[in-house]
Amino acid sequence: MGGRDQGTGGPSRIGAFTLFQVGGLGLAFWLIATFLWHITFGQGASLPVILFLDQDFPALLIALLLLALAMPFAEGKGLGLPAPRSRIIIPLVVVFGLVAWAGHYLLFQNYAISRDEEVARFAAAYIREGLFARPIPAEWEGYRRAIMPEFFSPFGAADYWTAAYLPVNSAIQALFWKLGDPNVAGPALLVAGLIALWRVALHLFPDRPDAVWVTMLLGLSSTQLWITAMTPYAMTGHFALNMVWLALVLRGGWLSHLVAGLVALVAAGLHQWHFPPIFIAPFILWMLLGRRWAVAAFHILILILIVIVWAKLWPGFLTHVLGPPMDVRPAAGVADKVGSLFERLGDRWQPLVNLTRFIAWNNILMVPLAVLGVAAMRWRRALKGQEIALPLALGCLAGCGLALAQGYGWGYRYAHGFIGPFCLLAGLGWARFRPAGMMRPIFIALAITLVTAGFLAWRTHLFVAPYAASHRMIDASKADVVLVDPRGGLFVTDLVRGRNGVPGRPMVMNLGMLTLDQVDKLCADYVVELFDRAEFRPLGVPLARWKLGRMDALRAHMKVVGCDKPVQPPLPATLEDAFKAAGDVL
């Protein structure tokens, strides 16, 4: 770190070598701590740990090695960039949106791997038809839980299938579905969020176009942002609407604040209402510190309205339209939400592995520069509400500090709504501690991140492909019912789903949620096929432990009565396909 600029009284500067060295060492220590805690001394392998070993650990090792090799060459001006005007930024952002849209088909093979995503698409399907829930056909009412095993709403559950999540994310997908393709929803939200991020950066750095570029390049190079945008996850919506809200608030004026309030209300309905308040609350504190009483009071009222609408009125509306809760206890109230949060903090708080995933899936310099952004804060000004870094930092701390287990996720999706604030903090750190225009370290970080992004995209494809192939095999079955025996495979129960969010033939069920009498009735009334480890293991689905139990007796009975025919792969459409399927041995 250098001293003050001679003769100017300017701020201290940090050299690129020091940035790479200290940032790299900090990330290396975090990675080592994660490995020791979860791998060396950990017990059992949860899904995040499996993905950490398969994706994040090697990606960060590659990034840190390249960062170390680049240190001697880190300082310098690099390529000249034009002013970050709309004619440059907007086309660039749109290109990234198109890449995300294509990636859904190329990388994910038009398949949503997790139950969270499937439930979102399931709800989009019935919303597209103008429904609040999908009526359960009478012939399948007794099997409703085997057909939709989890993440269903309890309201009217005896007669309707309804997603457990709030409806806005699915409604956005339904809108794009009406327009032609629901998979455009994520990329469109990504584009909106990145444009809003650019507008905020222009507001914060009017005299430092290089800091605007740093902010945008960090956002554009976030592997987590553009790969998550390929999926139906609600997190892309949280990123986008958080940034739109912030852009409106910083713009000022009663109209902007009014629209920001509406944006917050919509964002709270994406899937779980507590996410926007975590983002907004630090900015209300910032307003109060700055004595902007009226604006702070308005946004406090918006937070109250979020709770009233989504935690009170929405469940009441579902009860009125669909019927009282059935099958499981409702958990949409404020007390339920707070209680669930503290319960999960006690049982599933995993800051090391989750934040390592977050670091690996974003630009290698994003977190080190964001730390500089916090260090650049002048605390006296901050306590007077004059430092935007304060609410940005508090939000990032809250979003990452909760660090609950997420299951599936490309990066750490519960911190997804705070990628924008991280990029803005990084821009603040850059503007405070780096000379204007000395962009070479960012270009080096972009090159390194491009390498790790390619690796992560490849590993993602390899992880998803067996499940996508399994789903295609089940979907191609000519049977009336396909029973999935998930034992021996990792999250195979998530294969229990319909086609494009609509249950139908074959009606797919979780065998473990059926009784012996139900299986006998299915076998008597329908053409039934089985999909178990004999089918999904050759496709590459990861192994999982399983125990002997009731399902073994169930399978033995099915064998005795001749109801254990396996799902057959579809016949080759052409002679060339037949040769390929035979391995060209003919």
Instruction: Yes or no: say if 203 and 251 are a contact pair by the CB < 8 Å rule.
Output: yes
CA-CA-CA-CA dihedral for 365, 366, 371, 372, to nearest 10 = 70
The two three-digit tokens of residue 47, written as one number: 């899904």
The CA–CA distances, whole Å, from 89 to 82, 85, 92 equal 10, 6, 5
pLDDT of residue 1: 35
What is the mean pLDDT, run by run of 10 residues, along the chain of 586 residues?
35 84 92 84 72 91 95 87 95 96 96 93 96 94 91 89 95 97 97 98 96 97 96 97 98 96 98 94 97 97 97 94 76 53 55 88 96 93 94 93 76 93 97 92 96 96 95 94 92 91 92 93 94 92 78 90 86 60 47
Instruction: Yes or no: say if 406 and 413 are a contact pair by the CB < 8 Å rule.
Output: yes
The two three-digit tokens of residue 30, written as one number: 């975090």
* Dist CA 135 CA 157 (whole Å): 9
Closest CA relative to residue 459, chosen from 178, 143, 53, 154: 53
Instruction: Yes or no: say if 48 and 351 are a contact pair by the CB < 8 Å rule.
Output: no
* Dist CA 474 CA 458 (whole Å): 25
Residue with tokens 């979907």: 475
| Three-class secondary structure of residue 341 per DSSP | helix
Angle between helices 275-289 and 389-402 in degrees, nearest 10 = 150
The two three-digit tokens of residue 42, written as one number: 């950990």
Residue with tokens 């579902």: 318
* Dist CA 474 CA 509 (whole Å): 11
Which stretch of DSSP H or E encloses residue 135? strand 134-135
* Dist CA 91 CA 198 (whole Å): 13
The CA–CA distances, whole Å, from 461 to 107, 227, 468, 550 equal 5, 11, 10, 35
Closest CA relative to residue 542, chosen from 39, 42, 54: 54
pLDDT of residue 488: 87
Backbone angles phi, psi at 483, to 5 degrees: -100, 120
Instruction: Yes or no: say if 48 and 413 are a contact pair by the CB < 8 Å rule.
Output: no
Residue 385 is classified by DSSP as T
Which stretch of DSSP H or E encloses residue 161? strand 160-161
- Sequence-ordered list of residues with C-beta below 8 angstroms from that of 91, at least 6 positions apart, any chain: none
pTM score:
0.91
* Dist CA 102 CA 546 (whole Å): 37
pLDDT of residue 76: 86
* Dist CA 546 CA 552 (whole Å): 11
* Dist CA 481 CA 14 (whole Å): 64
| Three-class secondary structure of residue 163 per DSSP | strand
- What is the C-alpha end-to-end distance of the chain, expressed in Å? 68
pLDDT of residue 155: 92
pLDDT of residue 7: 32
pLDDT of residue 572: 59
* Dist CA 438 CA 427 (whole Å): 13
Instruction: Yes or no: say if 276 and 267 are a contact pair by the CB < 8 Å rule.
Output: yes
Angle between helices 235-251 and 185-204 in degrees, nearest 10 = 30
Q: Concatenated DSSP letters for 17-49?
A: HHHHHHHHHHHHHHHHHHHIIIIIS--S--HHH
| Pure H helices in 253-332 | 254-268, 275-289, 293-306, 314-322
